[in-house]
Structure 1
Amino acid sequence: MPIRVFGVLLAALSLAATSAAADEGLWQRLREGGVGVLMRHATAPGTGDPASFTLGDCSTQRNLNEAGRAEARATGDAFRRNGVTDIAVLSSRWCRSSETAELMDLRPVEPHPPLDSFFAGRGDQAAQTAAMRQRIAGLSEGETEIYVTHQVNITALTDIFPRSGELIVVASDGRGGIEVLGRMGPFRR
């Protein structure tokens, strides 16, 4: 094996080991509590929603495809495999978010309007973002919550543009803001 190829393989293995260690640190924080997990709903092809969008009518919304459903199940599997099962699950009322949360099969899902999308002026970005900052700040030690929501909501809170199904682990910074502890996923089967 040429030295150059060996070097590339060694670098790839080192990166994988570093990533696994970072993920284990995040799973440990989730087991300890006092943190939230912002999750962008699993894969739902397209952008936004049709003009005929109606809350509560999934036939008028952009929805998960089979890959997205598999991602949601794999995410729930990852939580169980890593011992994070004592967790509250809150979701946007948009079908792609609530279906993601349901398919994770962790706990009963609580619809939470501050997690609803405000893309294209559908909600109130400032009020929803403030409500989520306050909720995250109010997490007690030992308490962990997952928030299944949308890219725009996560970006407003963290300045991160997450991939579908990606998890952003956050905590209060103690000053009214949010500290990003790390990113994981999306998970695949």
Structure 2
Amino acid sequence: MLALSPAIALRGSPPVCRATVGACVLAVAAGWPGGCSAQDQDFQETLVSPALLAQMRRGGFVLYLRHGATDSSRVDQAPQVDLNDCNTQRVLSDAGRQQARELGVTLQRARIPVGEVIHSPLCRARESAQLTFATQPQLLRAEPLLAYTANLTSEQKKPVIAATRALVSTPVPAGTNRVIVAHAPNMADLMGYFVKPEGTMVVLRPLGQSRFEYLGSIPPSHWAALLPASSKR
């Protein structure tokens, strides 16, 4: 299981993120808090194919999951957010909780093996992880360095982005996948991709040495196409 610390997160050679479509190619210094430069903002999302889903069943991937749908009437009370008090944070809506439960069932039906689930310390990410993997609580652990970057200054973002890069680039053993449950701004800062809607899963191939490859995304509505009713078990 990957163990992360600030010291590990801030090491590494310059990362390269290759998108399978679009022209978002990153080659940034390990400590730089940004992702794509202005000229690289034509990043294009691509949907995961059935062929890629079949590969995911064999493991070796990082699955970056944006937390479930949230209650838009509430906002994070930054900079006074208390990680131990969900009343100071934007939280999952009832629909988001149901979405997370349904995703757990879907992942089981899809037969996608998961070896670890690393989640942001914020309530909406933690609850998403808990509900999605309710039958596997032993896989879950919080990572403080996955904090929501939209609430942070440029300097505060640096270790968070470095930690995220470490988590998505460190190789995953065959036969299992690493799940990260976190936030859209973190990915936008890392690779110029604002993940939406809430509940979308991003599939990445970790390449080691701070490098990773974007392969595709699964918005909540796309699971029905990947797993037609006749193939569900």
**Is the TM value for this pair above 0.5?**
yes
Q: Are 2:145 and 1:118 equivalent residues in the alignment? A: no
> Residues 66 and 183 of structure 2 are in contact (CA less than 8 Å); yes or no, is this contact kept in structure 1?
yes
Partner in structure 2 of residue 5 of structure 1: none
> Residues 26 and 169 of structure 1 are in contact (CA less than 8 Å); yes or no, is this contact kept in structure 2?
no
Structure 1 pair 30/48, CA: closer, same or farther in 2 (3 Å)? farther
Partner in structure 1 of residue 188 of structure 2: 155
Distance in 1, matches of 2:128 and 2:212, equals 24
Counterpart residue identity of residue 144, structure 2: P
Counterpart residue identity of residue 43, structure 1: A
Greater radius of gyration (CA): 1
Counterpart residue identity of residue 181, structure 1: L
Distance in 2, matches of 1:78 and 1:23, equals 16
Partner in structure 2 of residue 177 of structure 1: 211
Partner in structure 2 of residue 107 of structure 1: 136
More helix by share: 1
Summarize deviations over 1:121-170 as a string: whole Å, max 9, x none: 17832222222222332223314111000111122233221120001101
For structure 1, list consecutive stretches of 5 or more residues without a partner in the other structure. 1-18
Partner in structure 2 of residue 29 of structure 1: 55
Alpha-carbon deviation of 1:103? 0.5
Aligned residues: 169
Alpha-carbon deviation of 1:48? 4.8
For structure 2, list consecutive stretches of 5 or more residues without a partner in the other structure. 1-46, 225-233
Q: Are 2:92 and 1:60 equivalent residues in the alignment? A: no
Summarize deviations over 1:14-73 as a string: whole Å, max 9, x none: xxxxx6xx4422322322222101111101133750244211111221110111011111
Residue aligned with 1:179, SS: strand
> Residues 34 and 171 of structure 1 are in contact (CA less than 8 Å); yes or no, is this contact kept in structure 2?
yes
Structure 1 pair 137/71, CA: closer, same or farther in 2 (3 Å)? same
> Residues 170 and 207 of structure 2 are in contact (CA less than 8 Å); yes or no, is this contact kept in structure 1?
no
> Residues 91 and 111 of structure 1 are in contact (CA less than 8 Å); yes or no, is this contact kept in structure 2?
yes
The TM-score with structure 1 as length reference comes to 0.79
Counterpart residue identity of residue 118, structure 2: L
Alpha-carbon deviation of 1:80? 0.3
The TM-score with structure 2 as length reference comes to 0.65
- Percent of paired sites with the same residue: 28
Counterpart residue identity of residue 34, structure 1: G
Residue in structure 1 matching 2:99, options 54, 64, 71: 71
Distance in 1, matches of 2:114 and 2:89, equals 31
Residue aligned with 1:90, SS: strand
